[in-house]
Amino acid sequence: MKKSELKKLRTLKATKKMMKIAANDTIKKELVGTWAYSRVRESYKYGLYMRCQTLNGILKVAFFLAEHMRIGAALPAYELFINKETGEFLTYDRKRDRWLTAKLDMIPWPEYVGYSEKKWINPEGFRTIKRYLGVSRGGYNGILEYQLKVRADELKQRHKRETDPWDMDMEQTPELPKDWDRWVSKVGIPDNYIFYRYDRKGVTEGYCTYCEKEVPIAHPKHNKQGTCPCCRHKITYKSEGKAAGVVRSDRVYMYLMQRCEDGVMIRGFEGERLYRKEDYRNEECHFTEVRRVILDREGYELRAYSWGTYKYVETRWIRTELCNRSKWTYYYYYYSRTYEGRVYGRTLPDLAKGELRKTGLVEMTAMVKRIDPEKYLAEWRRVPELERLAKAGLVSLARDLMYGRCSAKECFTNRLFGDLKKLLGIDSQKLARLRRCNGGISFLKWLQYEKMTGKLLPDHVISWFCQEGIGPEELTFISDRMSMVQIYNYVRRQMKENKMESSKVLTTWSDYLAMADRFHMDTQDAIIYRVRKLRKRHDELVERSHSKSLAIKAGEILKKYPHVEQIYESIRDIYEYSDKKYSVVSPRCIEDVLREGENLHHCVGSSDRYWERIERKESYVLFLRHSNAPEKAYYTLEIEPDGTVRQKRTMYDRQGADIEEAKKFLKKWQKEVSKRISSEEKQLARNSHSLREQEFAEMREKQLIINTGELAGRLLVDVLTEDLMEAA
C-alpha cells in the first residue's frame, strides 16, 4: 500500500449520532491505588468510537476518542488501512502526522480507552469488518484478531527461513534398527536385578531381569551387588518386601550411528527401565531421542541438533552448538558429569570402512564400554592426532585429551613428526609400556621424564605416582638427592606411619627441608633429608622458627642469596646508630626483613630486587626506629654503602609529616657513617651511585608511572629523586 494513495481516500468523520452519544456519555471517576499512593481514574461507557468503509478494495477504519468528540471534534484521531489481499495494515496518527505499523493493542491510546466498558461501532460497520477480514468477530476485537493472525504468519515465515535447513537435515534420519528395542533393554541400559522373596529357611531362587527366568542364588542381601550365576552379568539383589513401589534403573545415554545422505548421523538417546512391585517380570523400558549430530562425508563439518522448545512457540529439533548439552533434559543437565553411553555395534563395521575410517572413533568404541561420540569427533577435528592415539590403543591418553585433562601441547612434544613415538617424545619400548599399562597423560609424562634422565622406573611405581596425582615436577625439591624409587618407598612409609595422604607427606617434607635450610642444617646429608620421623621433625622446626611461613620463605631466599645474613653480620657495626629519639637498626636475619614488610605493608621483603642488591652489596635495607620502642616498625630505609638514603618509607609505602624531623637525625647518622666506612665501602658506594644513575635514566626513558596509592599518576623516577638523601 502506498501511503500517498491512502491519504487521498475519503476522510470518515464522526456522524451526528456518534457525536450525540459521546456528548451524553458521563465520566466515571474512581479512586485507585494504595493508601500510600492513590489517584483518580476516569472512564466512559464508550471510550473509543469507530467508523469503517471499504474504499478501492481497502478497508478503512476511523477511530475517534471520546474526549475529542465531547468538545465537538469530528475528525478521527487514528485511521487504520487494511489490504486483505496482501495482508498489510497501516495506521495513520493524524495529530502527530506519522504512520504506525503497530497492532491496535500497541497503539498509544489514552488510559481511559482501556478502562471504558465498550468500544462503539454501528451494526453495519461491525458486519463489514467481520465479512471483509473473514474473522469470527467484528469491530475492534475482529480487527485485533486479524492483526494477530497476520503477525503470527509473518513470524512463522521468518522462523521457517531458519528452520527449513534444519528440517532438511532431519529428513535424512534413517529408520531405527529392527533389534533396537531389545538392544536398549539388554545392552544400552546396563543395570540388571535379581528379585527374590525373603524366606526364613533361606532363599535359593530369584528372578534375573537379564535372563528373564528363575536362577539359583545363595545368601542374597537387599541392594547388595553380585553376579548372576547363569548370564554372568552384574546384578543388584532386590527383596520384594523391601523394594520400593517402582524400581528404576539409572537413566543412561545410548548412541546409534547410522549412514545418512550427507554422511553419518549420530543419534543420542536417554533411557531407563522400570519394575513395578508385584509385577517385576514385566519390565517397562523407556527411551527418548534427545540429540542428533551429522558428520559430513569429508569429515570437515559437524552439525548438532537437540530436541527442545523453539522460540517459546513449539517443541522441535533445534540447531545448537557442538557439545552444548544445555537443551538436554533437566535430569541429565544437572546431575550427570559426562554424556558417555553404550554405542550400538552392528552399524559400526560398515562405517569403519567408509565415513569413519579416518576418525579412529570405531576403534575407540571397540576398546571402551561407554563413550561420547560427539565429544570425540569435536576434539578430533581440533586435534587430528586423536585418531592415531585411538588406533594405537592408547585409550586413557585419548580420553585425557578428549576431556581437557591435558592439552595437545602437553601431550605431543613435536607435532611435525609423523612417527607416533617421536610425536609423544618416547621410544618403542616406552610406547609399548604406555599401551600395556593403559596410561594417560600422567603416565606419559613419567615416560618422557625417563627418556630425558635416562633413569628407568618400574611400571608399578609410575602407576602409583599417577594414581596419587604426583608428577616429576612435584618432586624436584628432593629428586637431586634420591631416586624416584626411593622417594616412592619413603612417601608410602610415611603415609602408613603418620596416616597421611601422599600430597600431605610431600608438603610436609618440602616445608621441613626449607626450614632445615633456614637453620643451616646440612640438607645434603641423608640423615637430614631422609629423616625417619618426618612429621615429628617438621613440627620441631615449626616450634623453633615461631613462624613456619617466614622460616620457609627465608629458607627459599637463602638458597638464591646465600650471603645475605653474613653481609648483615659484617655491616652491623658500621651502620647502627642511636640518639635519645631515633635509632638506625640493622636486621639480624632474613625473617626481620620479611616481618618488616608485613608490618608496614610494603614490598621490601617480597621483591627480589632488594635481595639482589644486598647480595652484591649495592644497597642495604635498614630500619629507622624510635629509641624508646626499638622493636616497633617505624620507617624502612634503603641505603647505599656510603650512607646515601635511597628510600625511606612507612606504612603502605607512604611518608608522613614526621619524616622532616627524622631527616635531621638521618643527616647526623650520615656524618657518623662517613667516619666509620673504609676504602672498600667507598668503592662500593661509587659502584652503587653509578648503578643508581643508570636505573634512573632507564626509568626516564620508559616514562614509568606509579599507578596506585597517593602518588598515582606521578613519574616513578621523580618520586625516587625527591626521596634521595645523598651522603656528604
Q: Which three cell numbers stand for residue 417?
A: 613428526
Rounded Cα distance between 465 and 443, Å, is 8
- Indicate the SS3 state at residue 315: strand
pLDDT at 233 over 50: yes
Cβ–Cβ < 8 Å for 286, 272: yes
pLDDT at 328 over 60: no
What per-residue confidence (pLDDT) applies to 290?
94
- Helix, strand, coil: what percent of the chain each, to 5? 45, 20, 35
Q: Which three cell numbers stand for residue 649?
A: 618509607
Cβ–Cβ < 8 Å for 269, 285: no
Rounded Cα distance between 452 and 439, Å, is 18
For 83-133, the pLDDT digits (tens) are 999 999 999 999 999 999 999 999 999 999 988 889 999 999 999 999 999
Rounded Cα distance between 541 and 530, Å, is 15
pLDDT band at 313 (very low <50, low <70, confident <90, very high): confident
pLDDT at 544 over 80: no
> Degrees (nearest 5) of the Cα angle 427, 433, 435?
105
Rounded Cα distance between 267 and 597, Å, is 62
Rounded Cα distance between 447 and 427, Å, is 9
For 618-662, the pLDDT digits (tens) are 999 999 999 999 899 999 999 999 999 999 989 888 888 899 999
Rounded Cα distance between 326 and 60, Å, is 49
- Indicate the SS3 state at residue 89: strand
Rounded Cα distance between 446 and 471, Å, is 7
Rounded Cα distance between 227 and 217, Å, is 10
pLDDT at 38 over 80: no
pLDDT band at 35 (very low <50, low <70, confident <90, very high): low
What's CA 306's distance to the chain center, in Å? 22
pLDDT band at 326 (very low <50, low <70, confident <90, very high): low
What per-residue confidence (pLDDT) applies to 400?
92
For 168-188, the pLDDT digits (tens) are 999 999 999 999 999 999 999
Q: Give me the percent of the chain exceeding a pLDDT of 70.
A: 97
pLDDT band at 143 (very low <50, low <70, confident <90, very high): very high
Rounded Cα distance between 267 and 183, Å, is 15
* 388 contact partners, CB below 8 Å, separation of at least 6: 360, 420, 423
Rounded Cα distance between 304 and 295, Å, is 9
Longest dimension (CA), the chain: 119
pLDDT at 603 over 50: yes
Q: Give me the percent of the chain exceeding a pLDDT of 90.
A: 70
Average pLDDT across the chain, whole number: 90
Which whole number is the average pLDDT over 190-199?
A: 92
pLDDT at 337 over 80: no
Scan for cell 452519544, then name that residue. 21
For 573-597, the pLDDT digits (tens) are 999 999 999 999 999 988 889 888 8
What per-residue confidence (pLDDT) applies to 336?
39
Q: Which of 1-5, 305-309, 323-327, 483-487 has the lowest mean pLDDT?
A: 323-327
